[in-house]
Amino acid sequence: MTDETLAERARDGDRRALARLLTEVENRTAAGEAALKTLYPLAGRAHLVGVTGAPGSGKSTMVAALTGEARKQGRPVAVIAIDPSSPITGGAILGDRIRMQIHATDDDVFIRSMASRGHSGGLAASTVAAAAVMDASGFGLIFIETVGTGQSEVEVAAIADTTVVVQSPEMGDEVQAIKAGLLEVADIVVVNKADRPGADRAAAQLRAMLTVGASADRAAVAAGRPRPKRPEVMLSSALTGKGVPELLAALDRRAPSPGSRLADDASLKRAEAQISGILAQRINARLHDPARAAARAETLKAVAAHEIDPFTAADRLLALLGNDSAG
C-alpha cells in the first residue's frame, strides 16, 4: 500500500489506515511527512478541545462522558490522550484509558494514546500533526487530554482552540497550587464530582477568586503582560452525567467558525509549533549528517569538559550549518 493510498483511505474513513498513518506521522517518517502534506489542506475544520487538570481530577472520565454525549448526537469524536510516559521504554502507562473502553467498538470514536516523551521537535508539534490527520479524516471534535502538570499542559492549551480545566472539589495543598497555574490557561473550568460535598462551595470560591482578579489584571497589563483569561466556571459530574450536556453545549458555542481560521491565535500557535518542530528536526538532521557529526561530537565534549562555553559552541555549530545551507 502506497502512502498516498494510506492517506486516501484514512480520509475515506478507514480507521486502520488512520491508525497506521498516525504512527508514521508520530515517528516522523518520510511516509508520514508525505501523507501529512497530502492531508494538510483538508484539515482546519475541527474544534480542538484541550482537557487538562491535576492528577485525580477526573479528566479521563470527563472526556469519556463528553464523548458519549457527542455520540448521542451522532458526531464522530477523536481523542488524543497524552500519557505521562516511560522515557526509557517509550510505553504509555495509564490504566485510565480503560474508562474509554465503552466506546471501543464504536467506529466513530477514535482514541490515540501518545507518550509525552520522545517527540523530536516537541510534543506540541506531534500533537498538532496527529490532530491535523484526524481533522482531515472527518473528525470535527477532537479532545486532547493531558495528565499531570507542567509544560505539556500549557503547550496543549496553546494549540487547542478551547481549553477545559477539570478540577475536583477536594484536593491537597500542592494540587491547589498546580491548579492555580492551570486556571490561567482555562477557557472553561469544570468543577467535577458535583455529586460530592463541597462542589458548590468550590465553584463559588472559584468564581469569587476570578472576580476579584481585576487588580491582578491591572498589574499584568502594567507589567506589559497579556491580561489573564476569565474562564467560565461550570459544575459537572462525569460519573452521574450531571452537567455534561451543558458542558458540551458550552464547548460548541466556542467552536471556531470556518472563516475564523485565517489568523486566530490558536491556529497561528499550531502553525508555529509545527514549523518550529520541523525546523528543529531538520537542523538536528543536518548536524548529524556525516560531514558534520564528528565536529558536532567534539564540540559537545568540549562543553561537557568545560573547555569552551555553550555560546561559543552554538556559534560554531551555526557556522557549520551555514556551510551548505545557502545552497
Among positions 95-114, residues that touch a second copy (CB under 8 A) are 95-96
Binding of residue 290 to a second copy (CB under 8 A): no
Cell for 274?
509545527
Give whichever of 12 and 174 is closer to a second copy, judged by the CB atom.
174
Q: What is the spatial distance between Cα 53 and Cα 237, in angstroms, rounded to a whole number?
A: 15
Minimal distance in Å, beta carbon 72 to a second copy? 27
Identify the residue among 19, 204, 221, 279 touching a second copy (CB under 8 A).
279
* Burial class for 215, CB neighbours closer than 10 Å (0-12, 13-18, 19+): exposed
HSE of 148, CA atoms in CB hemisphere, 13 A: 12
Subset of 2-31 contacting a second copy (CB under 8 A): none
- Check if the beta carbon of residue 20 is closer than 8 Å to that of residue 5: no
Binding of residue 230 to a second copy (CB under 8 A): no
Binding of residue 313 to a second copy (CB under 8 A): yes
Binding of residue 291 to a second copy (CB under 8 A): no
Minimal distance in Å, beta carbon 232 to a second copy? 17
Binding of residue 298 to a second copy (CB under 8 A): no
Subset of 124-183 contacting a second copy (CB under 8 A): 129, 147-152, 154, 157, 172-175, 177-178, 180-181
- Check if the beta carbon of residue 82 is closer than 8 Å to that of residue 148: no
For residue 77, the surrounding DSSP H or E stretch is strand 77-83
Identify the residue among 239, 256, 272, 292 touching a second copy (CB under 8 A).
272
| Listed ranges 10-18, 159-167, 200-208, 273-281: which one lies at the site for a second copy (CB under 8 A) | 273-281
Residue 106 amino acid letter = D
Identify the residue among 17, 36, 141, 210 touching a second copy (CB under 8 A).
36
Identify the residue among 140, 198, 228, 256 touching a second copy (CB under 8 A).
228
Binding of residue 258 to a second copy (CB under 8 A): no
| Listed ranges 159-167, 204-212, 232-240, 265-273: which one lies at the site for a second copy (CB under 8 A) | 265-273
Question: In the chain, count of helices (H) and strands (E)?
Answer: 13, 7
Binding of residue 263 to a second copy (CB under 8 A): yes
Helix axes 310-325, 265-287, angle to 10 degrees: 90
Q: How far apart, in Å, are the Cα atoms of 257 and each of 46, 61, 91, 115, 272? A: 10, 28, 37, 31, 21
